[in-house]
Structure 1
Amino acid sequence: MAGHHNQPGSIYIYIVLVTLFFLQLLGVEALDCFKCVSIEGDNPACEDPFHNNYTTDVLESPCLAGRKHRNGLFPATSCIKLSGKYGDTGESMIVRGCALDSGTLTIDTEIVRMSHCGGFYFDERYVSGCLQSCSDDACNGSFAIFNLTPYLLTLTLWIVIVH
């Protein structure tokens, strides 16, 4: 066995390289996302039920979004859908658009990494509703959307570490 021995750090280098490879795959192409706003049903093409075969005028291809601490617009990494009711009037609102993962290490500061429901402010008004995110082209037209990226990355790392 001369000349061949495992170095303790080699598995970690391999894990880092595989992780970087998958992160690169996830962020290379810009997504196409539906972009529209509807307040109390004033934009029927944006409302649920959403029929994406009738809404090509609200499909942005590629969808561009802002990034924290950066000027300009960049290719989106996720499509999003905000839906809820304004706290002061009870009016319904739906916003479909796109967002960019800014690369911070914590999931709680990146809205695109986790779908959730609760309270938030939109146009300086309190809304009770849900944020859903997904990472496939034009995926923000459906009801149940979510982002699988963190789960796929975790599964990949687990497979690499175990094998």
Structure 2
Amino acid sequence: MVGLAVGLDAQREAAGTWARATAERDHLPSVPPIAEKLAGIQHALAAAGASLHLARRGASTVGFCILVPRGGFLEVRYLATEPGAWGSGVGRALLEHVQQHARRRAFARGELWVLADNARAISVYERAGWVATDTVEVRGTAGRVERRFVRNFR
């Protein structure tokens, strides 16, 4: 189940998921401290209208996304699932939630950025109807190339 979440505890849960997911994705020798990832989560949530949405199985957080209204579209600023939940449909459920959220708020389209070499995530996005654009940029502090994806919600 995916739902809106508020408060520092929810932000810490999202930061923990992000830390574990990026460590697994990037084959890091250890999981970065949650405090390192919390700053990015809080920065994204500081954007006007931003909201945090957690995916839960029972009492456990298994994924999250941060959604930010930007002009005429809805930006997916973060989307991650716990590595132990990869391949179990959590990403698909989060993306369905994004679509429902966008439609309830009358957003006709969405946008997200994904690391250009993250084939697993790209496959999930494409199966959910997101389309790669030709727009690529080095974004953030990691210095890695990201590709812009878009989706129409109507």
Task: Say whether the fold is shared (TM-score over 0.5).
Answer: no
* Higher share of residues assigned strand: 2
* Higher share of residues assigned helix: 2
Task: Tell which has more relative contact order, 1 or 2 (C-alpha 8 A, sep 6+).
Answer: 1
Query: TM-score, structure 2 length as denominator?
Result: 0.29
Larger Rg over CA atoms? 1
